[in-house]
């Protein structure tokens, strides 16, 4: 009887130990955060002229940048800022995170203001091909 009780208590303790939340990772340093943002901005800057057909609306091009060539840099930047958050905190952060889209949209608009090349034919437009 005592052995069964001991085994039962041990099993219960082991099961409860499995319910613990994993330890949080340490927050990213300011240098890591800055580097991740710079990499994301560089990706947008490098790819905006390739993606922008100057026919599609700027929001479509911004979305195409975030889902296409800059998806990895965007994800890495998010990870840098959220690595010390719990799953619930990450969900709340991502629900309110419009900054990457706004940055991409601003980049497209700035590119269009400075672009001198003629608009591409819509059939050649990368954003149209992605849809």
- Average confidence (pLDDT) per 10 residues, the chain, 131 residues: 63 57 78 94 95 94 97 94 90 85 93 70 46 38
* CA–CA separation, 124 and 128 (whole Å): 8
Q: Give the chain's length.
A: 131
* CA–CA separation, 106 and 48 (whole Å): 11
Residue 19 CA, chain-centre distance (Å), reads 28
Whole-number pLDDT of residue 122? 46
Whole-number pLDDT of residue 2? 60
Whole-number pLDDT of residue 129? 43
Check if the beta carbon of residue 33 is closer than 8 Å to that of residue 80.
yes
**CA dihedral sign, ordered 119, 129, 50, 36:** positive
Whole-number pLDDT of residue 27? 86
Whole-number pLDDT of residue 24? 72
DSSP 124: G
């Amino acid at each position: 009887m005592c052995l069964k009780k001991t085994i039962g208590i041990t099993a219960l303790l082991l099961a409860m130990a499995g319910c613990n939340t994993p330890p949080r990772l340490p927050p990213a340093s300011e240098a890591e955060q800055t580097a991740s943002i710079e990499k994301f901005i560089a990706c947008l800057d490098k790819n905006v002229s390739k993606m922008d057909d100057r026919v599609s609306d700027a929001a479509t091009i911004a979305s195409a940048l975030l889902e296409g060539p800059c998806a990895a840099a965007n994800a890495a930047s998010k990870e840098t800022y959220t690595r010390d958050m719990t799953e619930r905190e990450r969900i709340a952060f991502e629900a309110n995170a419009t900054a990457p889209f706004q940055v991409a949209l601003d980049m497209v608009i700035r590119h269009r203001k400075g672009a001198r090349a003629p608009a591409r034919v819509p059939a050649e437009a990368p954003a149209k091909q992605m849809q």
